[in-house]
Amino acid sequence: MAGFLACSASMIAAQACADTELSFGFSADGYIAESDMNGSDSYVGLYPEFTLTTTADSGWSVEAYLAPELYTSSNDEKEFGADDPYTFSSLTITTPGGLSFGAEYESTYLRETEEFFRDAYALFIESDAIGRLAYGDIDSAVGFSCITAPGGTTNFAADDLTNFGSCESFGFQSTLLYNTPDFNGYTVYASLSNPPDEDLSAGDPSRTFSLALAYAGDVSGNSLEYTIGFERVTDYFGTPDHGGAHATVVQAGATYGIGDLIYSASGSAQFYEGTDTTQFGLALGLDWQATDRLLIGGGVTRAQVADFSTADFSTEHQTTYGLSAEYAVIPDRLTLDIGASRLSAPSGDDTLIGAGFSVSF
């Protein structure tokens, strides 16, 4: 990290000076995995980060952030960076009173057409006193009620190992999202999504609203988090795959930490009005910080999954068990992880085994 002062003679005379700091960070991760159903898979990603912050004596500050991502996988060409690179950037302005506003932008450079494609954007305003108001291609409120069973690592998260988490959400494009300030650990989220038709494909949700409540605190010195969320799709662009008039998501989760152990439970259900189809998932997990450097975890899920490509929207029950471990070779700098899972379902069983790494500085 490097910092320098940017002052002109006139600024010095007026006793006004801007302190400018440029910082750089870098991280990388990758894995190799073998699955009965999907065969071999591999991935390597590089993530440089650049942050430029300018702070004036008056208390105003401006922060510009840029994070390009370069990656490749076994599904792309063998040369590194063969896939279309992705970039996240943001600009944040903060007033002396602590009010911040700005914009976030995500884009992908399409190598084939040599053009930038807008993946997502957001405009926001926030402070500790008023909370946060944002508009753009962002998660709806129910996304903030997402708690999955622990037992995941950098490359083998609980969702990957157990095939179903409590992180379902229909809203994304053109979403207006507000969350309250923190009230003794509680935060309330509310959102409305109504994307323009030109951004939608046939069957996509065109109007949704969502609410969520999240708590983070402690009980008798033990950490406790719990959430509950709700989302309702009130309209579609064309006819959705499930054929229903509306869809509803309800989900909840909780984690409780005692010493070196973290217990977790989560659940999600999706209801489709006008059909008899319901999808749901229940997950339980446990994390054990065996040593300062070794984290061991496991999870199990039970899910009912619908196949909307069939005439009767047939469903099947899936059970998945997952185990993982992560070891910090250099704390906060280099970790190695392994993961394994077993999926049992009427349509077929699957076993996944993998190993990976992550580096950051």
Least confident of 12-21, 52-61, 192-201: 12-21
- For the cut 60, the answer to whether the pLDDT of residue 288 exceeds it is yes
Mean pLDDT over the full length of the chain: 79
Other beta carbons within 10 Å of 332: 8
Question: What's the CA angle centered on 253, arms 249 and 258, to 5 degrees?
Answer: 175
User: pLDDT tens, 112-126?
Assistant: 666 656 667 899 999
Q: Which three-class secondary structure state does DSSP give residue 198?
A: helix
Predicted confidence at residue 189, as pLDDT, reads: 95
Token digits of residue 118: 């807008």
Question: In the chain, helix, strand, coil percent, each to 5?
Answer: 5, 65, 30
Predicted confidence at residue 83, as pLDDT, reads: 58
Q: Using 50, 70 and 90 to split pLDDT, how confident is the model at 14?
A: very low
Top-ranked range on mean pLDDT: pick from 66-80, 160-174, 247-261: 247-261
Is 217 within 8 Å of 185 (Cβ atoms)?
yes
Q: Using 50, 70 and 90 to split pLDDT, how confident is the model at 30?
A: confident
Spatial CA neighbour of 63 closest among 17, 21, 27, 115:
21
Helices (H), the chain: 9-13, 158-162
- For the cut 50, the answer to whether the pLDDT of residue 146 exceeds it is yes
Least confident of 34-38, 115-119, 159-163: 159-163
- For the cut 60, the answer to whether the pLDDT of residue 346 exceeds it is yes
Phi/psi of residue 59, nearest 5 degrees:
105, -10
With pLDDT > 70 as the criterion, what percentage of the chain qualifies? 73
Spatial CA neighbour of 126 closest among 167, 158, 94, 157:
94
Average pLDDT estimate for 118-146: 87
Average pLDDT estimate for 327-340: 92
Predicted confidence at residue 279, as pLDDT, reads: 80
Phi/psi of residue 148, nearest 5 degrees:
-105, 160
User: pLDDT tens, 290-314?
Assistant: 999 999 988 888 888 777 666 667 7
Least confident of 106-115, 243-252, 349-358: 106-115
- CA–CA distances in Å: residue 238 to residues 244, 328, 332: 11, 50, 48
pTM of the model: 0.81
- For the cut 60, the answer to whether the pLDDT of residue 220 exceeds it is yes
User: pLDDT tens, 231-273?
Assistant: 888 776 666 655 555 778 888 888 899 999 999 888 888 887 7
- For the cut 90, the answer to whether the pLDDT of residue 182 exceeds it is yes
Between 170 and 308, the more confident residue is 308
Phi/psi of residue 169, nearest 5 degrees:
-160, 140
